[in-house]
């Protein structure tokens, strides 16, 4: 016999306040609401609706990262990425495993500040001890508007181990300990972790002390669970949907684990529910509650929204609460929503990168080279040498395709030259020799933009006008850095002053 409506929904309805989903389709009309249930739902909605809207307002704008690439497997792995500009990134860390995810090495990430072509990118260095195969992911810590929020990739529980080992789990909550005290300390969430594979989602709630107490015979009874939502949701829809994976045990056998789908409105009115399945896994060990659900129960539902979404991500949050026979409902603890990216990066072995299409541009006085890597490894070394090695500047950083690197050679006398390109993916090095010829560029002396055979104040005025117009003239690039800016003006003025001494 199925449980009565108010008790049955205690395990799932509390999680409606955590996340709203995509626009709902047809709402089932099989549930028989009663006055106790309406009081129960109304209390939840009025208490936490504002939190719901704030959370979704923040996370709705959050992407993850672009141009996310790593160097090849080696003693030290470098990972670079461009954070979504909509997020306030507080810190980041990278994780690398060289033993099939049995153990992980980690390293902090820092914003790159002094390398042309890498503006706004972040760089992470992870010492690994070496190996040929690797798995890796990154974890971002953001200002979520109501506390620290996490945007994170995860290890992948490929074999579906349950409960999953710690090596497969990633923390999805920066949760303080001690915010639930006294007799209810066993409802104080100290950690929320998650992982995934191609078939299932896995979550672990850890409480501060006391394990998972089901409650007294006549109540109150205690509820633990995780809410899931699609970040590509439409908050302007008439109805919103959330999915809750919850655990409870009590109420004379009427409270038990399961997955529920719930409908409500953006202004806080509860509409209805649907019990999706009791087909979940759960296990309790000391202060850990592990639960797992086949992902298709959530993502195959057309009301869930587009899937896979652009980030291949879910929003999730944990909660603990209690309820009684007369639906006296109380929330004790919940976690700031996190965005879990269902993605892990793998590389088995390594192929050396290739260099191609070297070219000298006599108009802009630049050398260019195409870098390609079938493993999509970033270029750790990217230099060219005429007299000494100089870093080349990438024109973009999408290593899933060819990346063009450029270097301004400056003012070279007419003649034949040889450039040596030296690139590495962090493990394998590739070099290329490139002969090229420089013909007279028409500047004699360098800086003579007027062409009158002398460097004077007229040339300074001319180069300033070119700079203001955003243009480039190779004759004005007197410092040979491939750019036209105020530093060239200063060199020209200094040269003119010296000639008058």
pTM confidence score: 0.78
Average pLDDT over residues 138-162: 87
Average pLDDT over residues 389-401: 95
Does residue 9 have a pLDDT over 50? Answer: no
pLDDT digit string, tens, across residues 50-73: 334 444 444 444 457 889 999 999
Domains detected in the chain: 5-345 (no CATH), 350-438 (2.60.40), 457-499 (no CATH)
Average pLDDT over residues 198-203: 97
Lowest mean pLDDT among 13-22, 85-94, 221-230: 13-22
Does residue 17 have a pLDDT over 70? Answer: no
| pLDDT given for residue 326 in this prediction | 67
- Compare 454 and 206 and report the one with higher pLDDT: 206
- Compare 382 and 3 and report the one with higher pLDDT: 382
- Compare 165 and 179 and report the one with higher pLDDT: 165
3-state secondary structure of 37: helix
Lowest mean pLDDT among 56-70, 75-89, 201-215: 56-70
Average pLDDT over residues 469-474: 84
For strand 189-196 and strand 200-207, is the pairing parallel, antiparallel, or unpaired? antiparallel
Question: Where does the pLDDT of residue 215 fall: very low under 50, low under 70, confident under 90, or very high at 90 and above?
Answer: confident
3-state secondary structure of 52: helix
Average pLDDT over residues 11-22: 35
* CA 342, 347, 353, 357 torsion-angle sign: negative
- Compare 421 and 364 and report the one with higher pLDDT: 421
| pLDDT given for residue 440 in this prediction | 61
| pLDDT given for residue 99 in this prediction | 97
| pLDDT given for residue 130 in this prediction | 93
Does residue 369 have a pLDDT over 90? Answer: yes
Q: Is 294 exposed, middle or buried (0-12, 13-18, 19+ CB in 10 A)?
A: middle
Residue 6 CB partners (closer than 8 Å, separation 6+): 34, 36, 37, 40, 327
Cβ pair 206, 193 in contact under 8 A: yes
Lowest mean pLDDT among 197-206, 351-360, 483-492: 483-492
| pLDDT given for residue 146 in this prediction | 54
- Compare 459 and 193 and report the one with higher pLDDT: 193
| pLDDT given for residue 298 in this prediction | 93
pLDDT digit string, tens, across residues 291-313: 999 999 999 998 888 899 888 98
């Amino acid at each position: 016999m199925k449980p009565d409506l108010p008790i049955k929904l205690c395990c799932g309805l509390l999680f409606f306040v955590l996340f709203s989903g995509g626009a709902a389709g047809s709402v089932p009309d099989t549930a028989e609401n009663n006055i106790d249930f309406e009081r129960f739902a109304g209390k939840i909605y009025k208490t936490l609706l504002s939190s719901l809207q704030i959370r979704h307002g923040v996370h709705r704008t959050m992407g993850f990262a672009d141009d996310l690439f790593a160097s090849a497997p080696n003693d030290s792995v470098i990972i670079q990425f461009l954070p979504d500009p909509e997020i306030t990134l507080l810190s980041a860390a990278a994780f690398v495993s060289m033993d099939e995810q049995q153990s992980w090495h980690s390293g902090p990430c820092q914003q790159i500040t002094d390398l042309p072509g890498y503006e706004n990118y972040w760089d992470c260095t992870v010492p690994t001890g070496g190996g040929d195969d690797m798995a890796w992911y990154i974890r971002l810590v953001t200002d979520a508007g109501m506390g620290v929020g996490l945007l994170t990739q995860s290890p992948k529980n490929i074999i579906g181990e349950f409960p999953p080992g710690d090596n497969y789990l990633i923390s999805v909550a920066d949760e303080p300990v001690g915010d639930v005290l006294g007799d209810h300390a066993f409802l104080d969430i100290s950690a929320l972790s998650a992982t995934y594979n191609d078939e299932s989602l896995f979550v672990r709630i850890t409480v501060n002390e006391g394990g998972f107490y089901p409650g007294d015979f006549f109540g109150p009874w205690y509820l633990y669970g995780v809410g899931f939502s699609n970040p590509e949701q439409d908050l302007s829809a008439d109805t919103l949907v959330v999915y809750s994976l919850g655990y409870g045990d009590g109420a004379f056998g009427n409270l038990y684990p399961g997955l529920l789908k719930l409908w409500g409105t953006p202004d806080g009115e509860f509409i209805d529910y649907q019990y999706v399945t009791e087909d979940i896994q759960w296990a309790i060990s000391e202060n850990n509650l592990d639960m797992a659900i086949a992902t298709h129960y959530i993502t195959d539902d057309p009301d869930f929204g587009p899937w896979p979404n652009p980030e291949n991500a879910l929003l999730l949050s944990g909660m603990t609460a209690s309820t009684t026979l007369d639906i006296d409902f109380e929330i004790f603890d919940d976690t700031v929503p996190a965005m879990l990216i269902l993605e892990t990066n793998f590389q088995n072995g390594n192929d050396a990168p290739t260099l191609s299409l070297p070219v000298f541009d006599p108009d802009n006085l630049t050398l260019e080279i195409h870098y390609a890597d079938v493993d999509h490894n970033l270029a750790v070394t990217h230099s060219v040498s005429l007299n000494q090695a100089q870093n080349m500047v990438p024109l973009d950083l999408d290593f899933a395709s060819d990346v063009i690197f450029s270097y301004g050679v400056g003012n070279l006398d007419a003649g034949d030259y040889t450039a040596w390109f030296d690139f590495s993916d962090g493990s394998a090095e590739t070099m290329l020799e490139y002969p090229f010829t420089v013909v007279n560029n028409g500047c004699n002396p360098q800086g003579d933009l007027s062409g009158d055979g002398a460097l004077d104040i007229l040339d300074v005025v001319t180069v300033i006008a070119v700079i203001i117009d955003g243009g480039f003239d190779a004759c004005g690039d007197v410092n040979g850095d491939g750019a036209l800016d105020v530093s060239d003006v200063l060199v020209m003025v200094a040269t003119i002053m010296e000639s008058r001494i």
